[in-house]
Structure 1
């Protein structure tokens, strides 16, 4: 063991001596790496300086293509070195790149402007017809310089955008060729719509909005046809020439709108007009010129906190004034003419109110933020409730005979507004708002995309108008019941001779040539026919259907209780009642339904009991009094609605049974 220990000790000693020789190697390696990095640093600086000399040489030789190629190499180098920790080197590269960018931009901009003059750009006034007369050489040179300008873009990480307003941060700066195309139009815009020019009027915002729209129509397609193919050939897949051009012109309108608002914020008339024109401008952009919804426009100005509060308050003020004007109009309750709306008996004020709501919807439908749209929705719901209250006040002010007052027209108005709100509630616009509203109610505001929202909406039930509709429809039911009750009272008032007729002493059916309506019932049936006709004339078809069904149910109960259950009937009286019901009462309602008998089950079944053969009637009465299986017994003779007690009373009202 000692021998092995000495051997191991000798080995370790020798190894330690060897290690001492290489202790300084790591420091030398680190020094070499540091020198290599320094050398690479110097090589890179030399590379950049060489590129700069080559660019200068290309410029001197007027070799534009080589100049752009060398610039792109410099730009690529700057992008690649962006993540490095050599901050001074990065700053040096950025400064060099910006120097050459500005120098080349100035050079090609001068040439580009000369080309645009040759093309007679912009195409305004007398230049509108020259687009087809351009020289092929000029077009070729335009495409070449446009290619250079597109390649002259600064890398995103080195660009230094200058924004004068936080509102304009949404406007991504356009590429160089688009910027140069917009520049003469911008100069014209500033000339005409700033300062003391007669065209710069606060009360005429439509002038500058229309001018921007006109420029877009006159130039956007030309830009797309002549600039977009160049970008496509360079592989710039995210470049959209037409959209950039439109965005640049829209920015002019936004800047002008932003500058105008503080001056007219406290002038309601000017503010309202400016909002109208700004919304019209946005609608024209989106719907007609197909400006993408992802791009900013004038709505972004109107939705600033202070402006938006003013806007929504103005909407409420003018909507309230409009409602006052609608209801106070001399023709407010006149029925609109037209085959499509005749059955609904649509009044002028109903159509005007819905038009008011639709106008508000059109005005806020382009707002990108759901929260802003929900605030407008709340305004609309408030207006609907205010409308209901106003109609209720009119009912109380003008109370007389329901059929000759304004009640039927108010009722038609309520029904038409309700039915339209039901239809609106199922449209995509209001379904989305319903979804957002539910999310807000539970404190989970939706951040999903439109596609996700649409998928989720499919699982939702209800409508944003649910609460408003419930109140409107309750008032509608109350008015229908009131009109039905009024008609029922009028008919009952004419029925006294009929109720107190001598039913127990009428001639037998065998003793008369033919039955005819009971003379005492003529006033009642005449009143009923006249009132039904009047109801049909003054009420919308769905309301009339509700009214006559209510009337039928009340008359059915009334005839049972006041005629069939309180009078004695001989065979002639029973036959006469059957004739009056089946040949006079039911045909009156048969004008409005194919199954009138289904709406008079009580009096119809009472006539069955009164006209049964005597033997069958006595057996039925005995079975009912003995508490046999009465349900099956009654069903066997066609009695489904009358109770056992009522059936017994009616059977005992037969003189041929009561006399025994």
Structure 2
């Protein structure tokens, strides 16, 4: 059985598997018939397409054959003709001979054009010279034609990559010679007119009968120069090769006598020609501008406006503005003078620095006073200083001179005897005091800024900033850092042993003398860090920062000779990030000084804390608190307990230390440092006194007096409320541990409580000890102590309006009298509620105005009362 029969059998077996499939046999046959018809149609279309493709292929082959035959006939014809023309036996020999003939014809054609052009040039030159003898105005027409030929040749030579140099040179020479003759003739006419008005007298003026002659002579020179001006595009060029603006011919004539006077004064042996006084010849130019501005504006400006109005040249201030044209005409003599002076002062740093500085000031004066931009528009005039520093390559030498001067001045500052003295007079009395050296270094850096502020080159300004200013900041930071490290070395045991520091010297270093050394570093770092932040807001440094951002975004990723990473490491890391808006030029340096300031502050705090702990050494080892007795009946009820004798070292240390710190530091750092020190004092009181010993009523009174003594010293030197804030938890603990044994429910009952307690004491009643302790505490409270600390008073008043809480527990009578009918909680009631549950404990602590004490701490403290000891 063949493949077709097999495929048919398989198909029928697949479609007719059951008896039910026979019912759809007609549908199956119809489907097969339809598919068969489609396949036949597709076969027919395919045969037709194949036939068409074969016909097209045959036709294309016939066409190619015909074209190839035609090409062969044409090639044979060309070969035959070449052999006839060149008398060659073969076409290979004919082709080079034919090319040689064509080349000869081309050279001949070029030579013919050369001769024609030269003839035209010679004709125009002779024609112009002939007319110049009779009428100078008539000579302008052939000169302009000659000038047009010259301009066209130069443009063609540029396109032809420097072809025909001899031709261009010859035409240029002829054109220049003719221009010189015409220029001399026209200049003579203008000079003749100027002699009539006695130029260059500053008060010269042009009378009415000479105005036409003046304008005619002036305009002739402008007409002569117009072809040159129209083809000139001096403002465009490489960044360090900018062309200079042209001087108008009539302005050259005006300036000639002024230039002769300038050379007489500043190029001979006159006293005014001094290499150490460049301001002499620069101020002379400024004087000329002031003296002749009236004449230029009155008589030159109208002529320029009429001549250039409506032309493209009117858009350039160097042509249309008379004062700008006058300045442009004066600058060449200055360039000559400065160019001759620079080599003479190159070996004398002070003279070189002075010269460049004066030239930059002169440039600034021309820009600001006279609005001179040299025709550069928005970019502005770079200045004479830029021409010599960049184009003349003097910047490197000048930068080194300025750097040596700055570093020398810095060295003199740091070697001065009073370099490290705190300056209490140059800053606000309430500000942190820097050293005199830091102020002088800041003044030096500001002077350096003023010296390079007039520079127009971004790379030059950035180089000055990094190589000089930031370098000096780095040197001073290293010095301050080394001073800090030296202090740490001298105040450690190992440092004393290795450095030979005596115990007396160490004690001085740990006292006010040591704090003064630390405050010098702190104050200097703070002062200079703030100065850098202020500089970052200066428009000058903001412009540098914005330009730096633009350069950093450019594809080259280089800023002058430095990479972006190099600049970022010296200025701000944000230069390399996308978020550059919040950065500034001094981010890196300022952050170093900020870290040095913070470290100095930490060392000050550590020193104070160490000394405070040492001053409290004896105090924390005494234990009179449970055994102190009450005052005798004959003693005054108003007497306040004196501070404990063992507390005197701390009070003396606080007085001396805070007296100095209050002068040396601003309010904010003084309060931060004081709060840190008070935290240590509070910790010592809490851990070594309140949490360690038991207290009688009088013992709590004495502790209260000691804490208030510390508060008085601190508040006196730092400010009200500082001590109470720092010792607040300690004060709350003193108040809790000194609660009166019995409370006072009303003013009437409290008014007689003192008499009842005294009677019971005298009669030997069963509550002698309890009431005597209560009375003793009250006597201390009424004995003229200061008002309770304001912070805790405010907290108590918040919970109980109208109440006056009392620290240290105490006198029911005094508390009730002060609070009207306010209830004063007693020891037993507080103890009962405090130990009931946490909510009751929190409520009673709130009523007492004790916010920092937790329930656990309050319960532990209350157990320190001798009354509750059992």
Q: TM-score, normalised by structure 1?
A: 0.74
- Cα distance in 2 for partners of 1:336, 1:587 equals 23
- Cα distance in 1 for partners of 2:365, 2:864 equals 78
Cα RMSD of the aligned pairs, angstroms, is: 4.7
Matched, 1:515 2:640: yes
- Cα distance in 2 for partners of 1:213, 1:444 equals 42
- 1:403 corresponds to which of 512, 515, 521: 512
Per-residue CA deviation, residues 160-214 of structure 1 (Å, 9 max, x unaligned), is 99xxxx9885321122222222333333444444477665554443443333333
Query: Match for residue 282 of structure 1?
Result: 363
Specify whether residues 91 and 313 from structure 1 end up closer, same or farther in structure 2 by C-alpha distance, changes over 3 A only: closer
| SS in structure 2 at match of 1:515 | coil
Query: Match for residue 327 of structure 2?
Result: 246
Unaligned runs of 5+ in 1: 1-41, 448-455
- Cα distance in 2 for partners of 1:207, 1:291 equals 21
Matched, 1:109 2:187: yes
Question: 1:329-344 residue pairs with structure 2 within 5 A?
Answer: 329-332=416-419, 333=421, 335=423, 337=425, 340=428, 343-344=431-432
Contact 1:436 1:446 in 2 (8 A): no
- 1:466 corresponds to which of 557, 569, 587: 587
Contact 1:439 1:446 in 2 (8 A): no
- Cα distance in 2 for partners of 1:372, 1:648 equals 72
Matched, 1:528 2:601: no
Query: Match for residue 285 of structure 2?
Result: 212
- Cα distance in 2 for partners of 1:99, 1:275 equals 39
Query: Match for residue 616 of structure 1?
Result: 830
Query: Match for residue 134 of structure 2?
Result: 60
Specify whether residues 277 and 78 from structure 1 end up closer, same or farther in structure 2 by C-alpha distance, changes over 3 A only: closer
How far did 1:326 drift?
Answer: 1.1
Query: Match for residue 381 of structure 1?
Result: 470
Specify whether residues 273 and 557 from structure 1 end up closer, same or farther in structure 2 by C-alpha distance, changes over 3 A only: same
How far did 1:430 drift?
Answer: 1.8
Query: Match for residue 525 of structure 2?
Result: 414
- Cα distance in 2 for partners of 1:482, 1:83 equals 75
- Cα distance in 2 for partners of 1:267, 1:510 equals 89
Question: 1:220-619 residue pairs with structure 2 within 5 A?
Answer: 220=293, 222-234=295-307, 235=309, 236-238=314-316, 239=319, 240-292=321-373, 293-303=380-390, 307-332=394-419, 333=421, 335=423, 337=425, 340=428, 343-379=431-467, 380-394=469-483, 400-401=508-509, 403-404=512-513, 407=517, 408-438=519-549, 444=557, 460-499=581-620, 500-507=622-629, 512-520=637-645, 521-582=647-708, 585=711, 588-589=714-715, 592-593=718-719, 595-596=721-722, 597-611=724-738, 613-614=826-827, 615-619=829-833
Contact 1:505 1:573 in 2 (8 A): yes
Contact 1:409 1:539 in 2 (8 A): no
Contact 2:127 2:139 in 1 (8 A): no
How far did 1:385 drift?
Answer: 1.2
Question: 1:60-79 residue pairs with structure 2 within 5 A?
Answer: 60=134
Unaligned runs of 5+ in 2: 1-115, 374-379, 491-507, 561-576, 740-825
| SS in structure 1 at match of 2:638 | coil
Number of residue pairs matched by the alignment: 596
Bigger Cα displacement from structure 2, 513-522 vs 463-472: 513-522
Bigger Cα displacement from structure 2, 50-59 vs 540-549: 50-59
- Cα distance in 2 for partners of 1:326, 1:506 equals 61
How far did 1:603 drift?
Answer: 1.6
How far did 1:510 drift?
Answer: 12
Matched, 1:170 2:297: no
Query: Match for residue 214 of structure 2?
Result: 142
- Cα distance in 2 for partners of 1:542, 1:513 equals 38
How far did 1:378 drift?
Answer: 0.8
- Cα distance in 1 for partners of 2:384, 2:715 equals 60
Specify whether residues 528 and 160 from structure 1 end up closer, same or farther in structure 2 by C-alpha distance, changes over 3 A only: closer
- Cα distance in 2 for partners of 1:509, 1:73 equals 124
Contact 2:124 2:145 in 1 (8 A): no
Q: TM-score, normalised by structure 2?
A: 0.58
| SS in structure 1 at match of 2:454 | coil
How far did 1:532 drift?
Answer: 1.4
Contact 1:171 1:251 in 2 (8 A): no
Contact 2:241 2:391 in 1 (8 A): no
- Cα distance in 2 for partners of 1:484, 1:361 equals 37
How far did 1:353 drift?
Answer: 1.0
Contact 1:282 1:299 in 2 (8 A): no
- Cα distance in 2 for partners of 1:543, 1:343 equals 10
How far did 1:585 drift?
Answer: 0.7
Query: Match for residue 653 of structure 1?
Result: 864
- Cα distance in 2 for partners of 1:141, 1:600 equals 96
Bigger Cα displacement from structure 2, 227-236 vs 281-290: 281-290
Contact 1:435 1:460 in 2 (8 A): no
- Cα distance in 1 for partners of 2:631, 2:837 equals 28
Contact 1:257 1:298 in 2 (8 A): no
Contact 1:247 1:295 in 2 (8 A): no
How far did 1:592 drift?
Answer: 3.6
- Cα distance in 2 for partners of 1:629, 1:377 equals 67
Specify whether residues 83 and 289 from structure 1 end up closer, same or farther in structure 2 by C-alpha distance, changes over 3 A only: closer
- Which structure: larger Rg? 2
How far did 1:598 drift?
Answer: 2.9
Query: Match for residue 16 of structure 2?
Result: none
Bigger Cα displacement from structure 2, 78-87 vs 526-535: 78-87
- Cα distance in 2 for partners of 1:192, 1:359 equals 32
Per-residue CA deviation, residues 94-142 of structure 1 (Å, 9 max, x unaligned), is 99976765444222211222333444444xxxx44x34x6644455643
How far did 1:280 drift?
Answer: 3.7
Contact 2:132 2:182 in 1 (8 A): no
- Cα distance in 2 for partners of 1:220, 1:295 equals 23
- Cα distance in 2 for partners of 1:275, 1:604 equals 68
